[in-house]
C-alpha cells in the first residue's frame, strides 16, 4: 500500500502543477514586453444572469508589473452598494519566477466610503487593495465575485487597460437563461464568438490574446475608438426595484423621466415661494434662470461621484435643499426643480464628461454611456446649458469638460440626442498685452494684462481661487521664468455673454537679459515659449487636434536711453493646414515691440504628415526662443 501511495503522488504532482497558472515572467513573449509597463497575463470575466435580480460576476485577473510606472495597474478597487454584494475576494502576489510571495485575504483590502463626508451616499463603498511590493517584476492575481440585484448595467468588456499595458489573454463570458432577449454591441472585435447551450442556459464567449503595448504618439485620436468593447443590455430589466425596457435612446430617456426623475422635484412649498420671490423682479425667464443659478452656486457644493458608482437615480431636490450638497445628478435635479418652481422647463442631460470629447453610441442605447449630468434650458432661439457642479463657471458656459459632444436629454417626449456648444479655434483665445521696461543691468519690470476665453477660460482658474499666499507660487510655476516676482496680482471674472477671465500682474524679473560687456542678450518673447513635440519616424496614428486655439502676445519693452537701436527687424510667418504662426519683432520709438500669434486648428490630419507637423512645432519653438544682442552707446 505504501508503494502504491508514493506512485500515485508522483503522477498527481505534475497534474496539479499543470492545473495552476504559471506566472513566471520568462514565459511572457518578448513582443508583449516591448513598450509595456505591465502585461495582463489572464483576465477572465464570467457574468451569469440567473434572473433580472440575480447577476453574478466572477473575475479572475492577473497582471505582471515590470517597473514603478506599472504599479497603478496592480491596484484593485471593487465597488459595492445596497444593490451589489461582494461574496468573495482574495488574491496573491508572485515574484519574477512565479513563486508565491504573499496571499491576499479580504481583510487586507481597505473598506472605505466612495465619497467622503457625505450621508447622501453612505451606502456607496469600495474595497481597495494597493500592493506594497516593489521587487520588479512581480505579478498580482485577484479573484472575486460580486452579486448584483439589478441587470440594467451588465459589466462591459474592454480587455485593453491602457496603451502601455499588453494583454496575453483575456476572455468574457455571458450566461443567461434560454430565451433571454438581449441587445449586444460588439466593437472592434475580430475573433469568433463561441456560443454554447444546455438544458437551462445559453452563453456567449469572447476571447482575445497577444495584444501588444503601443507607443504613445502625441496628438493621437482617442484610443478607445479602436479598442475592443462588448456592451450587453437585457430587453427587460430591474434596477433598484424598478422594472423597465428600452430599445433606443428615446425609450431610455422616457424610462429615466418616468422611473428615476419622477417625484424628485419635491421642493417644499416654502422653498418654492422663496425662489418665486427671488425672481419676482426679473425681466425675462433667462434673467430668472441666472438668479437661480447664482443661488445654486452660492448655496450648494459638489460631491464628486460618478454615475456608475452612485447609481443612476438622483436624490430628491428636498434633500439637496436641506443638506446643501449633492453629486452631479442631485444638483442638476435641484436646479431643474428651482426652474420648475418659476415655470421654466429644463432638460436633465446625461453626458460623457472629460477633456477628451466622447459621445454616445448613437444607435445603441445603454445605461453605461455617460458619467455626468448637466442641465439644458430650451429658451426659444437660445438653448442654454448649465454646469450645476461648479461654483465658479459663468451662467451658460460649459468649459472643455462637456463641450462639443452628444448628450441624452430627458425631455417630455423621451430621450433626445442633443449636442453641446462647440468652442471654435478663434474663440479659444489667450490674449496678452505687456508693457515693460528694461534696465541697464538687464532687469525687467512692468505690467501684464492677459484675457482667457473659450476653452482657455479655466487656464488660470486655480490661481484665481487660490489664497493670496498660494497665488505667487502658482504663477511662478505657470510663467516659469527665473527670478520672476509678482508685485501685484489681480483677477477679474467677466461673466457676460462671452465670458473671460482677466489677469493683471505687476512683475519684476531681476537680470532677465544677460549682460556681457557693453551688450545685453534678450529674448523678447518672455511669456509664451512653445515646446517641441516628440519626433516619430514610423507614425501609425493620424494627427488629432482635440481643440484648436489662438494665443496672441503683444509685448512692448522700453529700452535704456543709452542703447543702440540698430537691430535687424525679425519677421516670420508659417502657414500649414493644421496651424499658423506669425512673429514680428522690431525697435521703434525707443521700444522693442514683439508680436506673436500661434494658432492650432482643430481636426484630424493624415499620419504621413507628422514630419511636417513636427517641423512646424520645431520652427515655432526655435523662433519663440530667438534672442537679440543689444549694444550700449
Domain boundary (366, 392, 419) is at: 419
Q: Looking at the structure, do residues 432 and 352 belong to the same domain, yes or no?
A: no
- Assess if residue 10 is contained within a domain: no
Give residue 569's pLDDT: 86
Is residue 9 in some structural domain? no
Checking if the pLDDT of 434 tops 50, the result is: yes
Helix residue ranges, H only, 220-367: 249-255, 269-278, 285-299, 307-310, 317-323, 328-341
pLDDT-derived band of residue 633, with 50, 70 and 90 as boundaries? confident
321 and 398 housed in the same domain: yes
Domain of residue 148, CATH code: 2.60.40.3140
pLDDT mean over 413-418: 96
Same domain membership, residue 134 and residue 196: yes
Give the position of cell 517641441.
532
- Phi/psi at 478 (nearest 5 deg)? -65, -50
Residues 279 and 133 reside in one and the same domain:
no
**Same-domain pairing of 284 and 311:** yes
The residue range of the domain holding 213 is 23-239
Which helix (H) or strand (E) covers residue 572, if one does? strand 570-576
- Whether residue 207 is contained in a domain is answered as yes
Say whether both 452 and 413 belong to one domain.
no
Same domain? For 177 and 251 the reply is no
Same-domain check for residues 226 and 267:
no
Residues 80 and 187 in one domain: yes
* 381 occurs within a structural domain: yes
DSSP 498: S
Residue 4 lies in a domain: no
Cell of 326: 449633492
CATH assignment at residue 349: 3.10.620.30
Judge whether 475 and 467 are in contact, CB under 8 Å: no
Residue 5 has pLDDT above 70, yes or no: no
Residue 538 CB coordination number (10 Å): 8
Q: How high is the pLDDT of residue 545?
A: 97
Q: What pLDDT, on the 0 to 100 scale, is given for residue 310?
A: 53
> Is 8 inside any structural domain?
no
Is residue 5, in this structure, part of any structural domain at all? no
Whether the Cβ atoms of residue 349 and residue 416 lie closer than 8 Å to each other: no
* Residue 120 confidence (pLDDT): 52
Q: Which of 183, 207, 239 is the last residue of a domain?
A: 239
Q: Could you tell me the CA-to-CA distances from 367 to 121, 290, 352 in Å, in that order?
A: 20, 31, 11
Burial string for 431-463 (b: 16+ CB within 10 Å, else e) reads bbebebebbeebbbbbebebbbbbbbbbbbbeb
> What is the rounded CA–CA span in Å between residue 230 and residue 206?
9
Give me the CATH number covering residue 563.
2.60.120.1130
Q: Does 538 have pLDDT greater than 60?
A: yes
**Of 419, 443, 478, which marks where a domain is finished?**
419
Q: Are 377 and 421 in contact (CB under 8 A)?
A: no
What is the reported pLDDT for 74? 97
Of the chain, the percentage scoring pLDDT greater than 90 comes to 83
**Domain count across the chain:** 3
At 500, the pLDDT band (50, 70, 90 cuts) reads very high
Residue 232 resides in a domain:
yes
Residue 554, CB half-sphere, CA atoms under 13 Å: how many? 5
Considering the domain architecture, whether residues 321 and 415 belong to the same structural domain is answered as: yes
> Strand runs (DSSP E) across 394-462, as ranges?
406-411, 414-419, 429-438, 444-453
Phi, psi of 155 (to 5 degrees): -50, 135
186 and 81 co-located in one domain: yes
Alpha-carbon radius of gyration of the chain: 30
* Residue partners of 289: CB distance under 8 A and separation at least 6: 339, 344, 377, 384, 386, 395
In the structure, what pLDDT confidence band is assigned to residue 62 with cuts at 50, 70 and 90? very high
pLDDT in the model for residue 305:
61
**pLDDT score for 307:** 45
Same domain, 516 and 594: yes
User: 100-132 pLDDT, tens per residue?
Assistant: 999 999 999 999 887 655 445 556 789 999 999
Amino acid at each position: 500500500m505504501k508503494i502504491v501511495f508514493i506512485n500515485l503522488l508522483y503522477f498527481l504532482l505534475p497534474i496539479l502543477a499543470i492545473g495552476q497558472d504559471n506566472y513566471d515572467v520568462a514565459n511572457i513573449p518578448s513582443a508583449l514586453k516591448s513598450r509595456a509597463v505591465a502585461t495582463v497575463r489572464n483576465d477572465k470575466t464570467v457574468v451569469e444572469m440567473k434572473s433580472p435580480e440575480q447577476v453574478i460576476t466572477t473575475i479572475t485577473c492577473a497582471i505582471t508589473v515590470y517597473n514603478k510606472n506599472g504599479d497603478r495597474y496592480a491596484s484593485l478597487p471593487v465597488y459595492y452598494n445596497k444593490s451589489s454584494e461582494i461574496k468573495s475576494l482574495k488574491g496573491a502576489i508572485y515574484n519574477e519566477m512565479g513563486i508565491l510571495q504573499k496571499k491576499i485575504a479580504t481583510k487586507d483590502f481597505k473598506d472605505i466610503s466612495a465619497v467622503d463626508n457625505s450621508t447622501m451616499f453612505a451606502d456607496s463603498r469600495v474595497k481597495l487593495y494597493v500592493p506594497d511590493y516593489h521587487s520588479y517584476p512581480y505579478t498580482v492575481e485577484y479573484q472575486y465575485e460580486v452579486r448584483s440585484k439589478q441587470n440594467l448595467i451588465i459589466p462591459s468588456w474592454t480587455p485593453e487597460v491602457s496603451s502601455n499595458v499588453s494583454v496575453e489573454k483575456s476572455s468574457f463570458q455571458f450566461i443567461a437563461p434560454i430565451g433571454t432577449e438581449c441587445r449586444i454591441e460588439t466593437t472592434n472585435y475580430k475573433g469568433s464568438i463561441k456560443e454554447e447551450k444546455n438544458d437551462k442556459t445559453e452563453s456567449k464567449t469572447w476571447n482575445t490574446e497577444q495584444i501588444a503595448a503601443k507607443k504613445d504618439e502625441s496628438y493621437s485620436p482617442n484610443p478607445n475608438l479602436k479598442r475592443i468593447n462588448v456592451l450587453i443590455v437585457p430587453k427587460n430589466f430591474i434596477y433598484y426595484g424598478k422594472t423597465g425596457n428600452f430599445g433606443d435612446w428615446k425609450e431610455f430617456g422616457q424610462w429615466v423621466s418616468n422611473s428615476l426623475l419622477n417625484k424628485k422635484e419635491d421642493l417644499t412649498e416654502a422653498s418654492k415661494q422663496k425662489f418665486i420671490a427671488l425672481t419676482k423682479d426679473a425681466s425675462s425667464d433667462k434673467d430668472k434662470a441666472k438668479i437661480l443659478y447664482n443661488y445654486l452656486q452660492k448655496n450648494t457644493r459638489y460631491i464628486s461621484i460618478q454615475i456608475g458608482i452612485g447609481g443612476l437615480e438622483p436624490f430628491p431636490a428636498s434633500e439637496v435643499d436641506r443638506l446643501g450638497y449633492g453629486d452631479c445628478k442631485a444638483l442638476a435635479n435641484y436646479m431643474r426643480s428651482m426652474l420648475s418652481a418659476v415655470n421654466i422647463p429644463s432638460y436633465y442631460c446625461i453626458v460623457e464628461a472629460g477633456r477628451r470629447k466622447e459621445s454616445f453610441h448613437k444607435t445603441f442605447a445603454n445605461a453605461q454611456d455617460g458619467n455626468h449630468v448637466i442641465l439644458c434650458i430650451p429658451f426659444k432661439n437660445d438653448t442654454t446649458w448649465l454646469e450645476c457642479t461648479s461654483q465658479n463657471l459663468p451662467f451658460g458656459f460649459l468649459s472643455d469638460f462637456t463641450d462639443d459632444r452628444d448628450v441624452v436629454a430627458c425631455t417630455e417626449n423621451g430621450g433626445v440626442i442633443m449636442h453641446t456648444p462647440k468652442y471654435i479655434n478663434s474663440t479659444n483665445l489667450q490674449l496678452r498685452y505687456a508693457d515693460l521696461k528694461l534696465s541697464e543691468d538687464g532687469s525687467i519690470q512692468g505690467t501684464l494684462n492677459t484675457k482667457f476665453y473659450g476653452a482657455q477660460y479655466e487656464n488660470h482658474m486655480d490661481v484665481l481661487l487660490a489664497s493670496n499666499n498660494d497665488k505667487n507660487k502658482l504663477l511662478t510655476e505657470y510663467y516659469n521664468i527665473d527670478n520672476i516676482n509678482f508685485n501685484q496680482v489681480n483677477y477679474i471674472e467677466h461673466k457676460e455673454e462671452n465670458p473671460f477671465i482677466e489677469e493683471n500682474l505687476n512683475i519684476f524679473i531681476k537680470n532677465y537679459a544677460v549682460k556681457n560687456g557693453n551688450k545685453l542678450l534678450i529674448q523678447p518673447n518672455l511669456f509664451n515659449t512653445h515646446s517641441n513635440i516628440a519626433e516619430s519616424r514610423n507614425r501609425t496614428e493620424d494627427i488629432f487636434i482635440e481643440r484648436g486655439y489662438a494665443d496672441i502676445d503683444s509685448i512692448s519693452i522700453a529700452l535704456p536711453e543709452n542703447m543702440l537701436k540698430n537691430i535687424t527687424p525679425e519677421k516670420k510667418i508659417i502657414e500649414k493646414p493644421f496651424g499658423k504662426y506669425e512673429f514680428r519683432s522690431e525697435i521703434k520709438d525707443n521700444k522693442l515691440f514683439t508680436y506673436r500669434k500661434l494658432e492650432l486648428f482643430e481636426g484630424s490630419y493624415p499620419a504621413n504628415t507628422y514630419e511636417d507637423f513636427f517641423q512646424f512645432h520645431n520652427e515655432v519653438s526655435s523662433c519663440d526662443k530667438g534672442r537679440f544682442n543689444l549694444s550700449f552707446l
